[in-house]
Amino acid sequence: MSKDKGNAGLQAQIRKLEAEQGYETAVAKNDPSRQKMNQYLDWLKGHGVESPKLKVRMLDQRRTVVLATKDIKAGDQVLFVPSDLILLPENAVDAPANSWLLWNAKVADKVPAV
């Protein structure tokens, strides 16, 4: 079996499981909250975050899930976040992730001044 056919079969299985578990995206592509989520995910990827075996699925306005898209074996890297993107109390103001938070008006009000 070719890799592409195997991948197509895996993708079909994922879609079936998502439907069974209620993980289908109910948020339209042009919905502002979905667009912001996609912008954030693009921003993360552009700043070095790697998640080759995961995808984010927005179920509705308030619920988002992370799903595996490939088999995960012991020792596999599932998620990589560069250390300069990790928010800690000592770097909350200067961390690169903070620039995205401050750009997002809904979140900016909730970021405490340090």
Is the pLDDT confidence value at 1 over 50?
A: no
Provide the pLDDT confidence category of residue 54 given band limits of 50, 70 and 90.
Answer: very high
What pLDDT is recorded for position 100?
57
Three-state secondary structure string covering the chain: CCHHHHHHHHHHHHHHHHHHHCCCCCCCCCCHHHHHHHHHHHHHHHCCCECCCEEEEECCCCCEEEEECCCCCCCCCCCECCHHHCCCCCCCCCCHHHHHHHHCHHHHCCCCCC
Residue type, 47: H
When pLDDT is averaged across residues 89-109 and rounded to a whole number, the result is 61
Cα 25 from Cα 38, distance rounded (Å): 13
